[in-house]
Amino acid sequence: MSASKDLVIGVDSSTSACKAIAWDRHGRAIAESRTTFELISPHPNWYEQRAEDWWDALCKALRELAAQVGAERFAALCITHQRESFVPVDETCQPIRNAILWVDDRAVAQVAELDRLVGNAYLHDLTGKGPSTKQSLPKLAWLQTHEPDVMRRAYKFLDVHAFLVQRLTGRWVTSLPCADPMGLIDMRRGTWATDLMSKLGLNPDQFVPIALPGSVLGELSEAAAQLSGLRAGLPIVAGAGDGQSAGLGANITTVGKAYLNLGTAMVSGAHADDYVADRAFRTLCSPIAGAFVPEEVLGGGTFTVSWFVEHFAADLRKIDLSVSPEEVLETAARKLPPGSLGLMLVPYWNAVMPPFWDAKATGITLGWTGAHRREHFYRAILEGIAYEHRLAMEGIAAATGHAIDEYILMGGGSRSPLWCQIVADVTGKTVKRASTAEATNLGAGILAAAAAGWYPSVRAAAEGMTSTERTYHPHEATHLVYDKLFNEVYREVFPSLQKAVDRLSDLTYGYGG
């Protein structure tokens, strides 16, 4: 590696934008560029994107990044991305329909049908994933029923990483932790689950070869170099899905600690050296080859906070333009006692994956009295998401046999000191805030740095390129209050109401008569 190549590129192609960041060998962001793209909703709860927009946004972001620091300084590039989203393409990698996104919920009926055909227990043990509309598998089944011509015409079905890598290098290939969230990987073997595909009428030839994370997949082609502003021949490194990449960017590479990404969705995960499948969580392949990530995903993370502010506190924007509504609510909520004066919230605003795996689930609030105001609701949201995090992490610790004593927080929600302290108080564990809000992108940068030879291993790169900036310790008296609320109330709320909640969804959302 030339001494002049002192930067690597991390690319995060998310649900809303493509962000490219130039990282140095110490994990410092030297320059960045971001380009957004459109979210398309052709029907309620259907979400799609034009895959061509992913490519255009990537090229624009890379051109702007190269213009800031110089293309000759880059040693390698690695992509992380929105998971489960996929696009069918022809032999020239041209999309033959819009990509279907992870957040899309059109395949509720197919989730039930998959249980009938092969069994949820079998699927979870094989793929590490419980029944969920978020994964690609039920949406592929939906295409079989509703768009059979697309199934016949598709040369390949590509995850976001595979699509962008093909455009960058001309190679049809993806990374194991990028393909894995689709729900079609045999986790023990680290290969496509061809027996499962055969049972479901899927053609394994329509899925690309799989490489290990951190390996060099190919080099930037001359054509892609002209479009992106980068030098031809730049090594393109196998990445990981955004959840796993966030864990790497928080240096979750050994047992005993976990990360909590308080983004639009709440994603939290730990490290496991061995494969374990359990209903309490879903299991993914790690950015560290051969390891695994037991993970919780809650669709209603900061999404729920944003929803509340937009619909119940928009007037606060007019009071003081220098202070956000969230800051106003946080100031008021900080003065409230733990437990929000008896108001409790189960944050299933976007259904629930582990541990209940219920696509019909909706949010629950209980304990309302005339004494409650919107700051109580705001605090109850923060507490409810913290309770849900604890529920998931206790399930992971029990199944893996490894206690979790420390959490690394990241994402937009980690900028709330109150929320960080609530997580520490609810869990009774030490909480540290990641030094960068871009831990997901940094995870890609770490894989690129290791592939470029800056460090002897991915673990060494993670150790050298990550840090934390503030620590929150649990307050003993507050933890005791939350501990009783969690164990004696929160654990029981959804299981007690699940039958009624599901029937309500059946009768009002058309899931069943």
The token duo for 232 is: 């031809």
Q: Write b or e for each residue in 204-223: b if 16 or more Cβ atoms lie within 10 A of its Cβ, otherwise e.
A: eebbbebbebbebbbbbbee
pLDDT over 50 (residue 311)? yes
Query: Going by DSSP bridges, is the β-strand pair 174-175/210-211 parallel, antiparallel, or unpaired?
Result: parallel
pLDDT over 80 (residue 164)? yes
pLDDT digits (tens, 9 = 90+) for 71-86: 999 999 999 999 999 9
d(CA 303, CA 305): 5
The SS3 assignment for 169 reads: helix
Looking at residues 45-65, what average pLDDT do you find? 97
Q: Is 240 left (phi over 0), alpha (psi -120 to 50) or beta?
A: beta
Give the chain's largest Cα–Cα span: 68
Which amino acid makes up residue 259? Y
Give 321's pLDDT tier (boundaries 50, 70, 90). confident
Q: Which of 210, 186, 83, 53 is nearest to 128 (CA)?
A: 186
The token duo for 20 is: 């490219």
* CB-based contact 243:261 (threshold 8 Å): yes
- Exposure on the CB side of residue 168, measured as CA atoms within 13 A: 33
User: For the chain, which residues make up each domain, given as ranges?
Assistant: 7-244, 302-429+473-506
Give 489's pLDDT tier (boundaries 50, 70, 90). very high
Report the pLDDT value the prediction gives residue 378, as an integer from 0 to 100: 98
The pLDDT > 70 percentage for the chain reads 99
Q: Which residue has the higher pLDDT, 263 or 379?
A: 379
The token duo for 157 is: 């079905």
The token duo for 293 is: 């990530």
Average pLDDT, the chain: 95
Total residue count of the chain as it appears in this document: 513
Give 263's pLDDT tier (boundaries 50, 70, 90). confident
Report the pLDDT value the prediction gives residue 511, as an integer from 0 to 100: 61
Looking at residues 479-508, what average pLDDT do you find? 96
Say what the alpha-carbon torsion angle 349, 354, 355, 361 is, to the nearest 10 degrees: 30
d(CA 262, CA 243): 11
d(CA 289, CA 273): 10
The token duo for 264 is: 């639009």
Backbone angles phi, psi at 42, to 5 degrees: -70, -25
pLDDT digits (tens, 9 = 90+) for 213-253: 999 999 999 999 999 999 999 999 999 999 999 999 999 99
Do 302-429+473-506 and 7-244 have the same topology in CATH? yes
* CB-based contact 466:459 (threshold 8 Å): no
DSSP string, 407-446: EEEESGGGG-HHHHHHHHHHHTSEEEEES-TTHHHHHHHH
pLDDT over 90 (residue 100)? yes
pLDDT over 50 (residue 414)? yes
The residues near 48 (Cβ < 8 Å, ≥ 6 apart) are 39, 40, 41, 42, 98, 99, 100, 101, 104
User: Which three-class secondary structure string do you get for 38-94?
Assistant: CCECCCCCCCEECHHHHHHHHHHHHHHHHHHHCHHHEEEEEEEECCCCEEEECCCCC
How many Cβ atoms sit within 10 Å of the Cβ of residue 372? 17
The SS3 assignment for 172 reads: coil
CATH homologous superfamily of 302-429+473-506 equals ATPase, nucleotide binding domain (3.30.420.40)
Looking at residues 393-416, what average pLDDT do you find? 94
The token duo for 505 is: 């969804």
Give 45's pLDDT tier (boundaries 50, 70, 90). confident
Report the pLDDT value the prediction gives residue 512, as an integer from 0 to 100: 56
Report the pLDDT value the prediction gives residue 1, as an integer from 0 to 100: 40
The residues near 169 (Cβ < 8 Å, ≥ 6 apart) are 217, 218, 219, 220, 221, 224, 236
What number of helices (H) and strands (E) belong to the chain? 18, 23
pLDDT over 60 (residue 26)? yes
What's the gap between Cα 368 and its chain centre?
A: 32
Give 207's pLDDT tier (boundaries 50, 70, 90). very high
Report the pLDDT value the prediction gives residue 264, as an integer from 0 to 100: 85
pLDDT digits (tens, 9 = 90+) for 363-375: 999 999 999 999 9
Q: Which CATH architecture has domain 7-244?
A: 2-Layer Sandwich (3.30)
Q: Which of 29-33, 155-159, 355-359 has the lowest mean pLDDT?
A: 355-359
Looking at residues 460-466, what average pLDDT do you find? 98
d(CA 255, CA 337): 34
Looking at residues 391-407, what average pLDDT do you find? 95
Backbone angles phi, psi at 117, to 5 degrees: -75, -45
Q: Which residues pair with 9 in a beta bridge?
A: 22, 77
Q: Which residues pair with 80 in a beta bridge?
A: 12, 240
